[in-house]
Amino acid sequence: MARIAYDDTDAEAFAATRHLSDDGLTAWRDAVTRHLAPRPGLRLLDLGAGTGSWARRFTTWFPGLEVVAVEPSAAMRARCVVRPVLAGDAAHLPLDDASVDSAWLSTVIHHVPDLAAAARELRRVVRPGGPVLIRSAFAGRHEAITLFRFFPEAVRVLDTYPSVAEVEAAFADAGFAAASVVPVPQVTAASLWEAAGMLRREAHTPLQLITDDEYAAGVVRLREAARVDAGPMTDALDLLVAR
């Protein structure tokens, strides 16, 4: 079972708050371009496509690229801004063998209950040599993510996520060559004040899995900091690439 079974409330919160601006994602566009080498006709699997923000962004950034969106949650599929979006999960992809050139997984890997099965399934559908790009927070790597400054109890949730080493090992066992990982910066919000105003607990797995009291205390810390810190909220998530 996935860590969170997204229902309508979760999906609505995600759609309302988790879409970043193109200006805030400049470094992600550059990183994806380096590893993906996008071209017209390239077929990219967006696994765990959610509400479709990345699928739409890729087709805007890279004209002629074809995105195949796959999402296990019916609530997310109902709100997806791209069509079609296929029902499926990491261990059961509704795709033929060697039918995509690459795969993209954004903040998905911690929801995968069987890393080994997912890696084997991705090895089946991604053509040899094609990269699998995994954007994620990983266990033990919270320092560059602002959320954990104000909700330190959520670090214990993050530390139940797969580690970089665990993901690399699963993909190596499935036949992928050595993986690389690099942190990629992003502007998550124009300010802490904006971040506090937009915060929805349902949109963040680590916040859903701490106690109500811990969440309430974190909201107070965030709002107090927002009164004096006017700068942008800049984070860095990791990009793990396996080929």
Q: Which residue has the higher pLDDT, 41 or 13?
A: 41
In this prediction, residues 165-174 reach a mean pLDDT of 96
Strand order in the sheet with 102-106: 85-87, 66-71, 43-47, 102-106, 132-136, 233-242, 180-189
By percentage, how much of the chain surpasses pLDDT 70? 95
pTM of the predicted model, to two decimals? 0.94
Band (16; pLDDT cuts 50, 70, 90): low
- Bridge partners for 238 per DSSP: 136, 183
CA 106 to CA 237: how far, in whole Å?
A: 10
In this prediction, residues 215-222 reach a mean pLDDT of 98
Structure tokens at 112: 């995968």
Look at residue 175 in the predicted model and tell me its pLDDT: 96
In this prediction, residues 156-175 reach a mean pLDDT of 96
| Per-residue pLDDT tens digits for 46-93 | 999 999 999 999 999 999 999 999 999 999 999 999 999 999 999 999
| Fold category of 8-140+160-187+236-242 in CATH | Rossmann fold (3.40.50)
Band (1; pLDDT cuts 50, 70, 90): very low
Is pLDDT of 2 > 60? no
Residue owning tokens 């560059």 = 144
Is pLDDT of 148 > 50? yes
Look at residue 182 in the predicted model and tell me its pLDDT: 95
